[in-house]
Amino acid sequence: MRGEDRQQQEMFLYASLEDLVPADHPLRPIRAMVDEALQRLDDTFDEIYGEVGRPSIAPERLLRAQLLMLLYTIRSERMLVEQLRYNLLFRWFVGLGMSEEVWHATVFTKNRDRLLEGDVARQFFGEIVRQAKQQGLMSSEHFSVDGTMVEAWASQKSFRPKQEKSDEDEPKQGGRNREVDFRGQQRSNETHESVTDPEARLWRKSQTAEAKLSYLGHVLGENRHGLIVNVRVTKAYGRAEREAAVEMAREIPGGTKRVTLAGDKGYDTREFVEQMKDLNVTPHVAQNVSGRRSAVDGRTTRHEGYWMSQRRRKLVEEFFGWAKVVAGLRKVKLRGREKVGWLFTLAAAAYNLVRMRNLMAAATA
């Protein structure tokens, strides 16, 4: 017998959000790790928030909400706020009650500067890395480094000459989306800059690829499970990847213990190899022998560990794919290197959380 399509609203619901979220839901272990990290940041939150005035939205809730955007590919903060109004799973993860009012989307913008000043994203990332080390999920000897292009939130039309232009030089038609014809013009980072994001620079992956206004994101990953250990965001220029790699290599913990660092052919320069040796790091970078002599000789490549590093270094690229497809960083929606770096660091923490959850679930299976 066919059932009736009844749409009568329930007047009472005798359940809590904790009861409605399944015990084996994949967000539960992530929430536990996030809460532990945020608890250790309690003193930091006390420092960046004043003791007087009207209470603000709890920074713990804002960070959990930002993680939801990265984990569930939510395009904007307004869309996130909309989902928080009716998505009970999101309410549970953020810490909102079932009938608690949701804040306005502009709260994220107003509080982001405060969290930036306190370097909260990097501290939160550091706490996630600490948990991974405690659980024995990270290698302390073998690492890989790589960089990727992060397209800026700026159009090619905003890339204009650095010198001030008079009103006569402005186009007379087109309105907000004006027509610009820069065909045949010589445009470079030395003579031009973006009006909307001056720190973004023209960059292209290869000689045949299109040049786009971009930043460069750099990561240092460990070779056991591909977890991210350190991150950087820099302006896009030729030496950025190697310079960022040197900075991150200096911060590898372990003191005088020798470690290995794998990389692609872009790191095969004599200067970089010498810098790694001075830092007590064995450079397991791919040899670049295209019309030149590699800076890595047979004393390094003859060992099986070198070829193992070359195979494992590609784990870093899995983070790049996840960050651009899932976390939405293919074209980042923030402007300025500092804000882009803040989001890139938070995305690395989210990626580690997902990987750690999967690794712990596989260990107990």
**Structure token digits, residue 335:** 């402007």
| 77 within 8 A of 69, measured Cβ to Cβ | yes
Spatial neighbors of 130 by CB under 8 A, at least 6 apart, are none
What integer best gives the mean pLDDT of the chain?
A: 87
- The ranges assigned to domains in the chain are 17-118, 139-152+214-347
Can you spell out the DSSP letters for 143-182? EEEEEEEEE-S--GGGEEESS---GGGS-SS-GGG-----
pTM of the model: 0.89
- Residue 87's CB is within 10 A of a number of other CB atoms, namely 15
CA distances in angstroms from 7 to 13, 15, 78, 269, 329, listed in the order given:
16, 20, 29, 69, 41
User: What spatial distance separates the first Cα and last Cα of the chain, rounded to whole Å?
Assistant: 43
Residue 273, both tokens: 């190899």
Counting every residue, how long is the chain? 365
Q: Which fold has domain 139-152+214-347?
A: Nucleotidyltransferase; domain 5 (3.30.420)
Give, for all 365 residues of the chain, the pLDDT tens digit: 666 767 666 656 667 788 888 889 999 999 999 999 999 998 888 888 777 767 778 889 999 999 999 999 998 889 999 999 999 999 999 998 888 888 888 888 878 877 887 789 999 999 999 999 999 999 989 999 999 999 999 988 888 888 755 444 555 555 666 777 777 778 888 888 898 999 999 998 877 888 899 999 999 999 999 999 999 999 999 899 999 999 999 998 766 688 999 999 999 999 999 999 999 999 999 988 888 888 888 888 888 999 999 999 999 999 999 999 999 999 999 999 999 999 999 999 999 999 999 999 888 86
